[in-house]
Copies of this chain bind each other. A is one copy, B any other.
């Protein structure tokens, strides 16, 4: 199973690709960060995130995409950017019929370290060990993306297969997206 993990963000969007199955050693296929300039306008940044994610999907052809679930308890400005970057990543995967799973930060931490309250250093250390890397991936967003992918591989393999089948079916059948109203009734 090949999973592309996304730690969403506008300034740094971490991406990590991991291959393997639960109970066997895992392999890192790729890791990196999509960056967009903080002084660019929001539209340009979202387009850059889309282009970056598309390149990763093209190159690595994952069977699943795992994205960090965003909560709004944090800083208002940051969380909006994170939610918007995550929307772009989810959109890119869903357009291709790749099933998307959302995992909370504590689910990811618990999966790779055994504790939902582990700190970044601990997550980085475990990602390094589990993927048999020489050093922890930098920046932390890249390590977090790998942790998301590992988390996804380890959670509910049977459920993943079902979700994959559903997503493939759904990708072939677009929903009716628009309810147009004609401007009849105008008086002028």
Interface residues of A (CB under 8 A from B): 25, 27-37, 40-44, 46-52, 55-56, 70-73, 76, 79-80, 83-88, 90-91, 93-95, 99-100, 102, 131-135, 137, 142, 167, 170, 174-175, 177-183, 185-188
Contact present for A177 and B134 (CB under 8 Å):
no
Q: List 12 A-B contacts (CB under 8 A).
A: A29-B183, A30-B181, A40-B170, A44-B170, A46-B87, A51-B177, A72-B72, A72-B76, A84-B84, A131-B186, A134-B185, A182-B188
Task: Say whether A43 contacts B90, CB under 8 Å.
Answer: yes
In the complex, the answer to whether B94 meets A46 with C-beta atoms within 8 Å is yes
Measured between alpha carbons, how far is A83 from B72 in the docked complex, in Å?
11
Bound CA span A28–B184, Å: 10
For A76, the closest partner residue in chain B by CB is B72
Report the minimum CB–CB distance from A178 to chain B (whole Å).
5
A134 near B174 (CB under 8 angstroms)? no
**Bound CA–CA A100/B137 (angstroms):** 36
